[in-house]
Amino acid sequence: METMGGEELAMRVQLAELQRRYKEKQRELAKLQRKHDHQKDETSRSPARRGPGRPRKRKSTPGPAAAESSKRLRSVL
């Protein structure tokens, strides 16, 4: 195997240090973004926009059969 020159070794050490600092900054950024996303979720909760899941049960409304029976009652009176 070839031995590394002094310049190449220095560059590799510098590259390793840069990569380490980059990963550290990425971790800090991810931590800050998680905190920001959590605060955003809490403030923007509204009943109109719901998350995934089963929809709520619909309220029962009088159907066509109920309308016909009320017409019959009016015609009898």
Number of domains the chain is built from: 1
Give a yes or no: residue 58 inside a domain: no
What would the two tokens of residue 25 be? 């900054």
Q: Give the angle 19-25-20 at the CA atoms, nearest 5°.
A: 20
The answer to whether residue 39 is domain-embedded is: yes
Residue 10, amino acid: A
C-alpha torsion 46→49→53→58, nearest 10: 90
Residue 21 within a domain = yes
**For range 9-38, the mean pLDDT:** 92
pLDDT grade, residue 31 (50/70/90)? very high
Is 49 in contact with 41 (CB distance < 8 Å)? no
Residue at 48 is within a domain: no
Domain containing 8 equals 1-43
Alpha helix ranges (H) inside 1-63: 6-43
Q: Which residue has tokens 């017409």? A: 71
Whether residue 43 is predicted with pLDDT greater than 60 in this model: the reply is no
Is residue 50 domain-resident?
no
| Residue 75 within a domain | no
The pTM of the full predicted model, rounded to 2 decimals, is: 0.42
